[in-house]
Amino acid sequence: MTIAKKIENFMSQSSWIRKMFEDGIKLKKEYGAENVFDFSLGNPNVLPPSSFKKALIETVQETEEHGYMPNAGYLETREAVASFLTKENNLKIPASNVVMTCGAGGALNVVFKSILNPDDEVITVAPFFVEYRFYVDNNNGVLKVASLKKDFSLDIAEIEKNITEKTKAILINSPNNPTGKVYSKNDLDELASMLLKKQKELNQTIYLISDEPYNKIVYDDVIVPNIFEAYKNSIVVTSYSKTMSIPGERIGYIAVHPELLDAEKFVAALVFCNRILGFVNAPALMQRVVAKVQNQIVDVNEYKKKRDMFCEGLSEIGYEFNVPEGAFYLFPKAPIEDDVKFVQILQQEKVLTVPGSGFGTSGYFRIAYCVDDKTILNSIPHFKKAFDEALKLGG
Ligand code: PLP
């Protein structure tokens, strides 16, 4: 075998979402797509806002240049993002503090490449987006995982316990994939106070990285608190993948707090890393498009309807879960301890989900409800059969 041992290992450990997706393709072939209920992938099914398509057509027609650009992105795009963020944050964010990236995934790699020395540590909380482990490893760091409270809110004491002189950053994601939790302003303020204390105590900078690709997908008047308000050494990474339903277009950005320590040098490192990681720059056409549609989002009510439909159906059966405040995932407790076994039982019912173990938290499973309403409605009797079957086995 000629591929790297580490990659071979990672590939065998990281296959849950992919495996479910591929099993789904086989099942659909065998039983017909309408008889398979695929909740494995977070691929948005709600249409992009119509203003996106309009801006895309306009941009294609008016664009003559397709060349390289400054590695941070077009100035007019960074200005549009900065002016949007300035309004949203009530804090002057200059265009020079914005770097356009290939999605939030690209953004996270650029940030880690910029800050991590070999074996430096990044602390996140479980359950977490699976790719974090690989993104940190790509850049020679080590991911440490702290647990959350039972309701999936931040446990500041647990995060604090994990901080050492090797800690470079804390990485959080709200609204969260896979729990749908939005961290409260109180929790973020408490996290910020703890980080300030630890920075002083250890005499080192600890960055707070907020991964926010779902920040506009929230329900019931929930507001995603502003990370910049809470902590100066903070960095927001985000994208238009979920808020505008365009994940295939690979467009996002990094925004750096204007008072982050040595912000200018920090941004220069980000720009350099965007280049040398091989991204060179975020896609040119998409940069031009998003500059025109800063404040546009998908119809969140569609996701809310799906969330409510699922919550009602599952709670009638007896599943236990926290009602998601944002994103488009449900993270119910498996009715038996073994989440992998339960996901297999669901699969026998042709329902595809992902075990919580894949996100670092066993005993749960993730449902991505960014699918059409009919799939949700028709799946409920199958969730019921799987629940009853699991109880028979468990009891
Ligand atoms: N962060 C989280 C929490 C995600 O769920 C995802 C995608 O599912 C990403 C980052 C990557 O998003 P993007 O498509 O913008 O790279």
Q: Out of 138-142, 354-358, 390-394, which region has the weakest mean confidence (pLDDT)?
A: 390-394
> What is the 65 CA–ligand 1 centroid distance (Å)?
29
Angle between helices 16-31 and 339-348 (to 10 degrees): 20
- When pLDDT is averaged across residues 391-395 and rounded to a whole number, the result is 79
Q: Which of 99, 110, 368 is nearest to 242 (CA)?
A: 368
pTM of the model: 0.96
Ligand 1-lining residues (CB < 6 angstroms): 42, 103-105, 129, 173, 177, 211, 213, 239, 241, 247, 252
- When pLDDT is averaged across residues 247-274 and rounded to a whole number, the result is 97
- Asked whether residue 395 carries a pLDDT value surpassing 60, the answer given is no
> What is the 393 CA–ligand 1 centroid distance (Å)?
36
Q: SS3 for 248?
A: helix
Instruction: Measure the CA–CA gap between 169 and 173, rounded to whole angstroms.
Output: 13
Q: Which of the 8 DSSP states describes residue 91?
A: S
- 278-325 pLDDT tens trace: 999 999 999 999 999 998 999 999 999 999 999 999 999 999 999 999
The dihedrals phi and psi of 57, each to the nearest 5 degrees, come to: -65, -45
Helices (H) and strands (E) in the chain, counts: 14, 12
| Residue 67 · residue 211 · CB < 8 Å | no
> What is the 284 CA–ligand 1 centroid distance (Å)?
20
HSE-CB at 111 with a 13 A cutoff on CA atoms is 35
Which segments of the chain does DSSP mark as H helices, in order?
A: 5-13, 16-31, 50-62, 75-89, 103-115, 131-138, 156-162, 185-202, 227-230, 263-276, 284-292, 300-317, 339-348, 373-394
Question: What pLDDT does residue 25 have?
Answer: 85
Ligand 1 pocket test: pick from 14, 242, 253, 331 the residue with the most ligand atoms within 8 Å of its Cβ: 242
Angle between helices 263-276 and 103-115 (to 10 degrees): 120
Residue with CA nearest ligand 1 atom 5? 177
- When pLDDT is averaged across residues 347-362 and rounded to a whole number, the result is 94
Instruction: Measure the CA–CA gap between 51 and 15, rounded to whole angstroms.
Output: 36
Q: In Å, how far are 100, 115, 173, 212, 320 from 238, measured between CA atoms? A: 10, 18, 10, 5, 30
Instruction: Measure the CA–CA gap between 338 and 390, rounded to whole angstroms.
Output: 10
Residue 39 corresponds to which tokens in the numbers above?
Answer: 């909740």
Region at 102 (left for phi over 0; alpha for psi -120 to 50; beta for the rest): beta
Q: SS3 for 363?
A: coil
The amino acid occupying position 90 is: N
Instruction: Measure the CA–CA gap between 79 and 193, rounded to whole angstroms.
Output: 31
Question: What pLDDT does residue 15 have?
Answer: 64
Q: Percent of the chain having pLDDT more than 70?
A: 99
Ligand 1 pocket test: pick from 41, 112, 131 the residue with the most ligand atoms within 8 Å of its Cβ: 131
- Asked whether residue 242 carries a pLDDT value surpassing 80, the answer given is yes
Instruction: Measure the CA–CA gap between 120 and 22, rounded to whole angstroms.
Output: 35
Question: What pLDDT does residue 11 have?
Answer: 84
> What is the 132 CA–ligand 1 centroid distance (Å)?
10
Q: Out of 23-32, 90-99, 329-338, which region has the weakest mean confidence (pLDDT)?
A: 23-32
The ligand 1 atom at the shortest distance from the C-alpha of residue 108 is 10
3-state DSSP helix/strand/coil percent for the chain, to nearest 5? 50, 15, 40
Q: Percent of the chain having pLDDT more than 90?
A: 90
Question: What pLDDT does residue 33 have?
Answer: 86
| Residue 174 · residue 129 · CB < 8 Å | no
Instruction: Measure the CA–CA gap between 291 and 249, rounded to whole angstroms.
Output: 14
What mean pLDDT value characterizes the chain? 95
- When pLDDT is averaged across residues 181-199 and rounded to a whole number, the result is 98
- 91-112 pLDDT tens trace: 999 999 999 999 999 999 999 9
| Residue 356 · residue 365 · CB < 8 Å | yes
Question: What pLDDT does residue 17 have?
Answer: 72
The amino acid occupying position 187 is: D
Model confidence band, residue 21 (pLDDT cutoffs 50, 70, 90): confident
Cα Rg of the chain (Å, integer): 21
Q: In Å, how far are 20, 174, 279, 293, 339 from 224, measured between CA atoms? A: 31, 7, 29, 21, 30
Residue 113 corresponds to which tokens in the numbers above?
Answer: 């490449």
| Residue 285 · residue 250 · CB < 8 Å | no
